[in-house]
């Protein structure tokens, strides 16, 4: 029988702001986390990610490389970010030049189990639970569905 290679999870090479709360276990590495941020358990935040001040990342979220999340955001349970669109019919397999970036502006709330492809989302947006964001969102409002579409404007 073979012997697996075991790599520990943890916190490695992270720049933290002030008063950050991290609930273990997590896998966070090579990223920048602002001040007053909360990170729940079972979260992975990869290298080249930036998370703004006062943002909350709830349990089981996956934030892949090349994601920027603004200030005062809420990333709910199980939210997944994607940076590889399989443009060659499958995973980029280490060819990071195929990866795309995601930019989330300020005061954005992303609901439970939403999936966010490489897009830009403007400030003051709510993405509903289970939504799949496949295109840029450049107008504040509530977005739901697969693909995510604007349901209504914010009051």
10-22 pLDDT, tens digit per residue, is: 999 999 999 999 9
Rounded Cα gap, residues 134 and 46, in angstroms? 21
Question: Is the overall model pTM greater than 0.85, yes or no?
Answer: yes
Q: What is the mean pLDDT of the chain?
A: 96
Q: What kind of fold does domain 11-85+97-152 have according to CATH?
A: UDP N-Acetylglucosamine Acyltransferase; domain 1 (2.160.10)
34-47 pLDDT, tens digit per residue, is: 999 999 999 999 99
Tokens of 139: 């107008």
Question: In whole angstroms, how far apart are CA 33 and each of 36, 41, 128, 149?
Answer: 9, 16, 24, 30
Domain boundaries, the chain: 11-85+97-152
| Residue whose pair of structure tokens reads 């007053």 in the numeric block | 36
Residues 6+ apart with CB under 8 A from 18: 35, 36
């Amino acid at each position: 029988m073979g012997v697996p290679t075991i790599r520990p999870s943890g916190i490695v090479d992270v720049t933290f702001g002030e008063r950050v709360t991290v609930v273990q276990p997590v896998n966070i590495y090579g990223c920048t986390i602002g001040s007053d941020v909360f990170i729940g358990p079972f979260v992975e935040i990869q290298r080249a990610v930036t998370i703004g001040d006062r943002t909350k990342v709830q349990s089981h979220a996956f934030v892949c490389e090349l994601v920027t999340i603004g200030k005062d955001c809420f990333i709910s349970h199980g939210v997944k970010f994607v940076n590889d669109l399989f443009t060659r019919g499958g995973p980029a397999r280490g060819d990071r030049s195929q990866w795309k970036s995601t930019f989330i502006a300020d005061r954005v709330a992303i609901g439970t189990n939403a999936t966010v492809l490489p897009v830009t989302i403007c400030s003051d947006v709510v993405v509903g639970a289970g939504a799949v964001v496949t295109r840029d969102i450049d107008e504040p409002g509530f977005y739901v569905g697969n693909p995510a579409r604007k349901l209504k404007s914010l009051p």
